[in-house]
Chains A and B, each alone.
Chain A
Amino acid sequence: MAVSTAPPVEAVTGTRRRRSPMRQRPRVWLYVVLAVGMIAMILPFVWMILGSFKTTAEIRQYPLNFWPLEPTLDNYTELFVRLDFATFFANSLIVAVFVTAGNIVFSSMVGYALAKLDFAGKKVLFMLVLGTLMVPGVVTFVPLFVLTANLGLVNSYPGLILPFLIAPLGVFLMRQFMLSLPDELIEAARIDGASEWRIFLRVIMPLCGPAVATLTILTFLASWNNFLWPLVVATSEDRYTLPVALALYSVGQNAAEYGLMMAGAVVVVVPILLIFVLLQKYFVQGIALTGIK
């Protein structure tokens, strides 16, 4: 839950300042080993992108060739024309946006109460949040489905979104961050006669930018990649999210369509990879703040 030895975030993200005493001179072999390892780590993504531009005939041939001989966009055309990946993409986006917004609003509110207010039952509430931090979806999905079915929400957007509007991780993250904000600010606002709601909205939240950014990224990512619950609750194509559509096609009749499946994987993975490379600081901060991916 928390890396108890974690130094301030800057120590993790800012890298070049620190000089270790045991570093005598740069070791070339270490760069080589690290580079080879990194190529191995990202090779599957390169292979995925290259494969998505290959024709089926090219894929079947042996031995393999690395670069596409006649690059084609057919796989993408098929993905968006025959298989309606635009709808799946939109569904993933809609669900992720609502889930992220819900988590920011609700987590900030509870986080404020837990970090800055003194009240009866505070300890119980915090233990509740901590105790459920690690509860996996596989434990709750069966009764959740029964509930969703009884509410008539199977195969609907509310059915996809509602169970994920809150997450203990978000509360934990916001509380941890708000604890670090000085109490004097709040005291001063109280003396000025501001209500707690006003303090929360006007004093606290404007200072929570970094925490909100981290929470946004973590929640959006989790929602975008979420699989088990959408698989259970989305029962027809018009409500599939990207991972569900991809998984069902990949084990169904399109299973052998290599290029098509690679293009599908590109549509799911590449937007996230781009966001990650642009905002990588916040991803790392998320781990430093909570210790959880």
Chain B
Amino acid sequence: MAFKTVRNFLIAGGVAAASLTGIAIAAGGSGPADGYEMIHKHWHWQGMTGTYDKEAMQRGFNVYANVCRSCHNLDHLAFRHLGDEGGPFYDERFPNPNDNPLVKNIAAEYEITDLNPEDGSEITRPGIPADYFPPIYRNDSEARFVNNGALPPDLSVMVKARNNGADYMYNLLLAYEHPQPDTVSLSPGQYYNPVMEGSKIAMPPQLQPQEGVFEYQSDTEGQNPPEATVEQMAADLTEFLAWSADPKLAERKSAGLMSMVYLLILAVLLWLAYKRIWRRLKQPVGG
């Protein structure tokens, strides 16, 4: 008897939740232009239990440091974050990422602007893990001036800042190859890219196979890296930036699993308690 009402209740909740999801997806903006087919990759971190691939993140960081870094900063990332649990350079021997030698070495490669405590003059010093990635330009105006009027955006939350951000990032890097229709005319300093809003982008193609932007070094585990094809580099960079935008994903999913199991058990127990208590009433006639 009451199962039906529970069923109705669950259906009602399910419909509401589904329509929420539907609205969220419907609100999700327009797709790419000119017949470009988005490549939908299956990423490591998708699904209920998926998490980031450490080697891919490390390679992705290399792509960032060697290619993207010339214009794009990671505003919200400190070097120590790279060594956090779930991060690309995490090492369980160093629970405090500040002690992680890989993180220390990466930090030391960056010059941090600081003040000389003696005389207040501006000095530069090598970075330490507690430092944030230093800004590339002094301010937005300088960034625009140097880059033909376009502002290279922060990449640390980029994957979250676009609908379906991982696929967006991956496709954006690959879509330069798509044939440019005659209807699109570009100003100097603009490039054609159907994934970009408006199909025009100020960023030149960055990952080019023929020049071999750089070679993948063997990673920290000493394993042989994959060949640095454009697709491989784009995927690895996306993996790194996805982590950078959502570094607590693994923690979130494991907490989610525990919560769901717990809530289901609690729901069953409360259901039984509910039936018990209501059974105190004599079954009404016809019930």
Q: Bound pair: A and B?
A: no
Q: Which residues of B come within 8 Å of A, CB atoms?
A: none
A residues whose Cβ falls under 8 Å from a Cβ of B: none
